[in-house]
Amino acid sequence: MKVVVDLTRCQGYGQCAFLAPDVFTMHDEALLYDLDPGDERREQVMRAAAACPVQAIHLDWTATRHIFEPPRTTTSSEVRKDGRIVIVGASLAGARAAGVLRREGFTGSLTLIGDEVREPYDRPPLSKQVLTGQVPAEHTFLPRLREVEAEWLRGSHATGLDVAGKRVRLADGREIGFDRVLLATGTRARPWPDEAAARLKGVYTLRTLEDAAALRQALAARPSRVLILGGGFTGCEIASVCREMGLEVTLVERASAPLVNALGSVIGDVAARLQREHGVDLRCDTTVTDLEGDADGRLRGARLSDGSTVEAEVAVVALGSIRNVEWLHDSGLAAGVWGVACDAGCRAVDTNGLVTDDIFVAGDIARFPHPLYQYQFMTLEHWGNAVAMAEIAAHNMVSDQAHRWPHLSVPVFWSSQFGVNIKSVGVPTFADEIVITQGSTSEHRFVAVYGYQGRVTAAVTFDQGIWLEFYQGLIERAEPFPPSFRHVDQREEAVPVPAGVPERLVATAGATVVVTGHDPAERRASLRH
């Protein structure tokens, strides 16, 4: 039996932990669970799923169904149910899209290409339950939809895309033909830039199942200190796990506080206080300049930009991710470090800015325009976004233009760290002001609402996830900011302050476009990487 909980919907009621305590546990409002609890617990889990007030628990299902499903009409022109579809990327988005394609009635040839030899697995537990040892790494495999009939090419690396010839090139020399293709190759962990230092024993990244298993083993050996490079969500979650295990932790972050790049400095300062209260040696406005090892090639410590040193036996490089798009550099698509550009229907855009008909994009590599955010192109490395885009892309691949859906989901993200369940809805970095509408930041239990030019654009909750759906409604209706009504548990007058979000980076920075030709029929653009 496989279990998946849509933590974007979970509101922390805890019935599941009461009905199936061997599978589900609650840390305050943060839910942890075993994805593969064994068939002997099926009855317990089924009762828990039935009792969930928001129906967030799913059995033998890769993920939840996307909530946006307009009424369907059946016309002969709508249906493109046969032919050959290839999905490049066999993780969450790719596996979900495969299931939805069959659900939508696609009867043709379906091939999934993945560079990992394992079946698809869920990544969020890797920095949580797997590191603590609560869940074995092999229990994170995602359930595959039982009705999916597909050819799975595991351990196969895609090296090129022939758009005109409609073929995917593989590293072993094979070429896989398609009528339509979905690009969902995701991201990989950004390594430490010095290759020699990155190979030191005791230096880790966290992205794959093997990464999690190796880091779990290293932490179980009780190192004297763990050094974490980067204060994003992954770095903070690993720091939380280490403190839960009683390990000494130093976290180095170049910004003024953890999570600033995602949530702004106001919430970043709250996260900093939370970490220090839990014993983390937090070094902000600082970077690691060098990792140092001994004669046996083992990590011994690091030098920091402020001139200090840190002794550590384990270092975790949590400096973000790199989008897996290099294989598309000669494809003619608008693909680069920023991702693969696509329209709101997940159709890829080529270097000339033209929308393609049979090439679709989903998940972490997709760069799409969002109408709620002034049609700004954005990439979202969120579990919920991967699921939603996979469903939209799969539906649109078997529909004609008149029946395609737009990807309009409001981004939702969650994190569990230091006993606090953090959730966000919307895009917190698309903001100029922030206001605390409920609770208290000093108690680490509150709701913060973000606004941009007089309208609500995002909300972040600390142990107040029950309110997330309400604020999502404000975002979708473009309600005025600051909210003018009185809130439950409003401690004091809500006064907006600057959000302290980082300056928005130009996503196309580093892209060089060359335009050739004079006549409109021959004028073309190309990318230089």
Band the pLDDT of 490: cuts 50, 70, 90: confident
Question: Which is it for strands 151-154 and 524-528: parallel, antiparallel or unpaired?
Answer: unpaired
State the pLDDT at residue 504. Answer: 64
61 pLDDT above the threshold of 80: no
DSSP assigned state of 117: S
* Average pLDDT along the chain: 88
Cα–Cα dist 31/17, whole Å: 8
Residue 376 tokens, joined: 């700004």
Cα–Cα dist 84/310, whole Å: 55
Cβ 123 vs Cβ 207: under 8 Å: yes
- What is the CATH number that goes with domain 419-498? 3.30.390.30
426 pLDDT above the threshold of 80: yes
Q: For the chain, what are the domain ranges? A: 2-60, 84-186+324-398, 190-319, 419-498
Cβ 383 vs Cβ 124: under 8 Å: yes
Mean of pLDDT values over 162-174: 96
Nearest to 364 by CA among 323, 320, 422: 323
| CATH architecture under which domain 190-319 falls | 3-Layer(bba) Sandwich (3.50)
Mean of pLDDT values over 70-89: 68
Band the pLDDT of 319: cuts 50, 70, 90: very high
Q: Which of 27-31, 129-133, 270-274, 509-513 has the lowest mean pLDDT?
A: 509-513
HSE of 99, CA atoms in CB hemisphere, 13 A: 23
33 pLDDT above the threshold of 80: no
Cβ 433 vs Cβ 499: under 8 Å: yes
Question: Whole-prediction pTM value?
Answer: 0.86
321 pLDDT above the threshold of 90: yes
Cα–Cα dist 464/251, whole Å: 26
79 pLDDT above the threshold of 70: no
Mean of pLDDT values over 318-344: 95
DSSP string, 268-321: HHHHHHHHHHTT-EEEES--EEEEEE-TTSBEEEEEETTS-EEE-SEEEE---E
What does the pLDDT look like over 352-377, one tens digit per residue? Answer: 999 999 999 999 999 999 998 988 89
Q: Which residue has the higher pLDDT, 182 or 69?
A: 182
Fold match, 84-186+324-398 / 190-319: yes
CA dist 376 → 30, 94, 310, 476, 514 (Å): 32, 25, 41, 16, 23
84 pLDDT above the threshold of 50: yes
Band the pLDDT of 509: cuts 50, 70, 90: low
**Fold entry, domain 2-60:** Alpha-Beta Plaits (3.30.70)
State the pLDDT at residue 37. Answer: 79
Cβ 441 vs Cβ 477: under 8 Å: no
Cβ 229 vs Cβ 192: under 8 Å: yes
Mean of pLDDT values over 293-302: 96
State the pLDDT at residue 205. Answer: 97
Q: Which of 198-202, 263-267, 473-477 has the lowest mean pLDDT?
A: 473-477
Strands (E), 28-82: 30-33, 57-59
State the pLDDT at residue 479. Answer: 92
Report the percent of the chain where pLDDT is more than 90.
64
Residue 513 — φ and ψ, nearest 5°?
-110, 130
Band the pLDDT of 508: cuts 50, 70, 90: very low
516 pLDDT above the threshold of 60: yes
84-186+324-398 homologous superfamily: FAD/NAD(P)-binding domain (3.50.50.60)
502 pLDDT above the threshold of 50: yes
Residue 339 tokens, joined: 């991702």
Cα–Cα dist 163/516, whole Å: 20
